[in-house]
């Protein structure tokens, strides 16, 4: 199930599903470790001897973010029980506490007693083994712990009534479904301790007058030691959950409104999606530099892994978006991270865990021959990732003018990566040596990688010029020009009349794989390697438009021909990224007109139409139904949406100024 909301503060990240159930909880890094791992933290209600879980099908539920805040807002209505449950959720911006405010609205003409049950399951450090849970009567809380990971669960009503019932049990162990089933009669068995795979339930009881509401609070404090976790629990009681909610809401509203975007030009629903996208970028960004691709762990339930890693390329695009949106200060730790993990030879590996350790990979290294083939080094990397970091750093400089930081990074990062890009080339063709492509599937020389390397070298040349390192500047520019020529000579297919996705090098011979790919066209203009008016570019554009538009009524653009990733029908899936790329391309053309603005507006409405119900954007869509597929949210999708909106607003302003200053024909 997709993650409807993501809430975080840079060290602690919580993901909720469409029922408001906690499904992922990451600590002490954003993306590492996941202590819930897709299990459900259920919420149940008992009223007048009737019990209901929020996901049992009897509730009408809407979920999203409160406007201009990183505060979750969930409305659940149950006509049979004659109540509504309205929840507001935060990760406290100052410390690692998840807080939930729950309002129970009584729609009947009789007073009710409502028992709310909150269920927890922690597979601490991503394992269901050797966990312990216990009830602490001295604090009236539930504690889950293992090693240096401690979770304290507590709650209270607005009248200061505390937890009044509890139980702990075995979860999915020895044939047991879980102690949450104990709640369904309205009472709990008060089992005070359990170990192994442990789940727990607490109960809070409140009364509610006819046609009135009552309020309860629930929270989880997370720390590395028991003392620290108790201190956080005490902090919640001292500050009050209500004050923490207000403080967090105010903080994120202030964070957002420090940057003035002319979003009044957007319909309200698109402005909210723009704001939501910024918050999703921020909560996936760790304060120590990592930016993960998605916190949605659902994929691991069906495969071997998920997206809770930092891909340098995805992160570089997100960093560039932050900078263009006016938040360069958020991105500095990312470049420190890249400096720290950079290989001594000047390249970045496939992906990293948020603690700077090497992430898992499927890039083939199964034999010596795949590392060294015909005396040509074939590293299991994506060269575009290293190049993209330099492009992102240039965006950081444009936004910040932080020359001291550029000087600090020049030797250990800029020069090292640029020299690698210069030297990692085929001596016969001048092309970059083979590496994996943007989509992590093909080993070869891709047009996109050539474009990214061109952009990275030009960024390095600009830094060298600023710092008066003229020899470096000339070298980087000359090699960039050589790569551009080599791409035109070897990666343009005369048969297809298009630049192709990938080619293969064998003893100086280039063999083209004739596949049309959206990233090919995007890379050519985005990194500045080819003008949109170049004849080779326009021919490639023609092929993309002919081959990569989804032919069903859902619309959108595919990644490439015959894409099988998450494919479940006869058609390949459209992606938000590739569809927004085309809107960007038209807006970025020097001759962009009102027609291109209208096209962008149509694409924005398409994005809004096919967003997940809470406002998050998936990676891709079912080509017939528009259903969200794969990681949801995908942070890169949100970054491209923000970037496209900013370009649209910039172009709209420029065209308005042009019209304003244009001399009427009768005065010429």
> For the whole model, what pTM was predicted?
0.96
H or E element at residue 100: strand 97-106
Closest of 451, 649, 412, 426 to residue 536, by C-alpha? 451
Q: Where are the alpha helices (DSSP H) in 436-559?
A: 447-466, 470-490, 518-526, 535-547
190 domain residue, yes or no:
yes
| Tens-place pLDDT, residues 490-542 | 999 999 999 999 999 988 899 999 999 999 999 999 999 999 999 999 999 99
**pLDDT over 80 (residue 663):** no
- Mean of the per-residue pLDDT values of the chain: 95
Quote the pLDDT of residue 658.
Answer: 86
412 domain residue, yes or no:
no
For the chain, give the percent of residues with pLDDT over 70.
96
Q: Where are the alpha helices (DSSP H) in 67-225?
A: none
Place of tokens 């129970």: 104
Quote the pLDDT of residue 666.
Answer: 43
CA dihedral 538, 539, 541, 544 (to 10 degrees): 180
| Tens-place pLDDT, residues 140-199 | 999 999 999 999 999 999 999 999 999 999 998 888 899 999 999 999 999 999 999 999
**pLDDT over 90 (residue 366):** no
Q: Give the residue-averaged pLDDT of 471-495.
A: 98
Radius of gyration, CA atoms only, the chain: 27
Alpha carbon distance 631, 15 (integer Å) = 13
Quote the pLDDT of residue 363.
Answer: 78
Expressed as residue numbers, the domain containing 136 is 5-241
Backbone torsions φ then ψ of 228, nearest 5 degrees: -65, -40
Quote the pLDDT of residue 260.
Answer: 83
For the chain, give the percent of residues with pLDDT over 90.
91
Quote the pLDDT of residue 558.
Answer: 98
| Tens-place pLDDT, residues 580-622 | 999 999 999 999 999 999 999 999 999 999 999 999 999 999 9
**pLDDT over 80 (residue 333):** yes
Residue 180, SS3 per DSSP: helix
**pLDDT over 80 (residue 377):** no
The more confident residue out of 1 and 514 is: 514
Quote the pLDDT of residue 301.
Answer: 61
252 domain residue, yes or no:
no
Largest CA distance in the chain: 89
187 domain residue, yes or no:
yes
Q: Give the residue-averaged pLDDT of 541-545.
A: 98
178 domain residue, yes or no:
yes
**pLDDT over 50 (residue 646):** yes
Quote the pLDDT of residue 508.
Answer: 80
**pLDDT over 60 (residue 46):** yes
| Tens-place pLDDT, residues 621-630 | 999 999 999 9
Q: Could you tell me the two tokens for 355?
A: 């603690």
DSSP notation for 427-446:
TTT-PBPPEE-TTS--EEEE
Quote the pLDDT of residue 255.
Answer: 97
Q: Give the residue-averaged pLDDT of 246-268.
A: 94
Residue 520, SS3 per DSSP: helix
256 domain residue, yes or no:
no
Q: Give the residue-averaged pLDDT of 207-227.
A: 97
22 domain residue, yes or no:
yes
CATH number for the domain that contains residue 236: 2.70.98.10
| Tens-place pLDDT, residues 391-415 | 999 999 999 999 999 999 999 999 9
**Cα–Cα separations (whole angstroms), residue 276 to 70, 283, 322, 474, 612:** 8, 11, 14, 43, 12
Lowest mean pLDDT among 260-269, 427-436, 560-569: 260-269
**pLDDT over 60 (residue 68):** yes
**Cα–Cα separations (whole angstroms), residue 2 to 21, 59, 87:** 12, 19, 19
Sheet architecture: strand order including 32-34: 5-8, 13-16, 22-29, 32-34
Work out the pLDDT band at 370, boundaries 50, 70, 90: very low
Work out the pLDDT band at 665, boundaries 50, 70, 90: very low
**pLDDT over 60 (residue 329):** yes
Work out the pLDDT band at 303, boundaries 50, 70, 90: low
In the chain, how many domains are there? 1
Residue 85, SS3 per DSSP: strand
Quote the pLDDT of residue 497.
Answer: 98
283 domain residue, yes or no:
no
Quote the pLDDT of residue 499.
Answer: 98
Alpha carbon distance 177, 510 (integer Å) = 58
């Amino acid at each position: 199930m997709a993650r409807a909301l993501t809430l975080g503060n840079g060290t602690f990240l919580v993901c909720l599903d469409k029922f408001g159930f906690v499904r992922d909880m990451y600590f002490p890094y954003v993306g590492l470790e996941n202590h819930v791992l897709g299990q459900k933290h259920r919420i149940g209600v008992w009223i007048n001897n009737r019990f209901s879980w929020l996901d049992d099908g009897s509730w009408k539920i809407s979920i999203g973010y409160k406007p201009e805040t990183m505060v979750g807002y969930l409305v659940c209505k149950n006509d049979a029980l004659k109540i509504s449950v309205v929840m507001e959720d935060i990760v406290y911006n100052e410390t690692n506490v998840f807080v939930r405010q729950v309002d129970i609205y009584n729609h009947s003409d009789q007073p009710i007693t409502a028992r709310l049950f909150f269920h927890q399951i922690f597979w601490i450090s991503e394992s269901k083994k050797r966990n312990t849970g216990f009830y602490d009567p001295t604090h009236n809380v539930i504690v889950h712990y293992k090693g240096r990971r401690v979770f304290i669960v507590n709650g209270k009503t607005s009248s200061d009534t505390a937890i009044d019932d509890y139980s702990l049990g075995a979860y999915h162990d020895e044939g047991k479904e879980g102690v949450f089933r104990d709640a369904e009669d309205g009472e709990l068995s008060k089992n005070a301790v359990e170990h192994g795979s442990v789940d727990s339930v607490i109960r809070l009881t409140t009364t509610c007058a006819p046609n009135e509401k009552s309020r309860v609070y629930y929270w989880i404090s997370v720390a590395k030691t028991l003392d620290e976790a108790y201190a956080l629990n005490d902090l919640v009681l001292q500050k009050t959950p209500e004050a923490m909610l207000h403080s967090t809401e105010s903080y994120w509203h202030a964070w957002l409104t420090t940057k003035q975007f002319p979003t009044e030009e957007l319909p309200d629903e698109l402005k909210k999606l723009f704001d939501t996208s910024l918050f999703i970028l921020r909560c996936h960004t760790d304060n120590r530099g990592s930016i993960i691709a998605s916190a949605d762990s659902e994929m691991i339930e069906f495969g071997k892994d998920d997206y809770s890693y930092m891909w340098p390329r995805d992160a570089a695009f997100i960093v560039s978006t932050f900078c263009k949106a006016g938040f360069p200060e958020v991105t500095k730790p990312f470049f420190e991270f890249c400096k720290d993990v950079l290989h001594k030879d000047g390249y970045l590996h496939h992906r990293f865990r948020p603690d700077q350790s090497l992430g898992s990979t499927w890039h083939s290294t199964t034999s010596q021959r795949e590392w060294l083939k015909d005396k040509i080094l074939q590293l299991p990397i994506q060269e575009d990732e290293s190049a993209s970091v330099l492009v992102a750093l240039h965006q950081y400089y444009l936004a910040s003018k932080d020359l001291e930081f550029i000087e600090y990074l020049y030797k250990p990062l800029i020069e090292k990566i640029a020299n690698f890009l210069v030297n990692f080339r085929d001596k016969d063709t001048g092309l970059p040596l083979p590496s994996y492509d943007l989509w992590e599937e093909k080993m070869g020389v891709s047009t996109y990688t050539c474009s990214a390397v061109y952009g990275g070298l030009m960024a390095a040349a600009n830094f060298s010029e600023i710092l008066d390192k003229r020899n470096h500047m000339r070298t980087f520019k000359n090699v960039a020009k050589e790569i551009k020529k080599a791409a035109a000579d070897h990666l343009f297919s005369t048969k297809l009349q298009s630049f192709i996705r990938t080619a293969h090098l064998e003893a100086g011979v280039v063999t083209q794989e004739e596949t049309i790919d959206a990233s090919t066209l995007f890379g050519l203009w985005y990194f500045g390697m080819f003008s949109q008016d170049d004849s080779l570019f326009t021919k490639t554009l023609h092929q993309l438009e002919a081959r990569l538009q989804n032919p069903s009524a859902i619309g959108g653009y595919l990644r490439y021909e015959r894409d099988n990733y998450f494919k479940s029908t006869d058609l390949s899936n459209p992606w938000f990224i590739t569809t927004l790329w085309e809107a960007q391309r038209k807006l970025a053309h020097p001759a962009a007109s009102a027609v291109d603005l209208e096209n962008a507006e149509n694409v924005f409405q398409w994005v809004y139409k096919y967003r997940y119900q809470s406002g998050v954007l998936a990676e891709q869509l079912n080509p017939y139904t528009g259903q969200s597929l794969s990681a949801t949210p995908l942070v890169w999708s949100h970054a491209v949406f923000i970037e496209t909106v900013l370009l649209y607003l910039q172009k709209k302003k420029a065209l308005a100024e042009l019209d304003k200053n244009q001399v009427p024909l009768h005065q010429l």
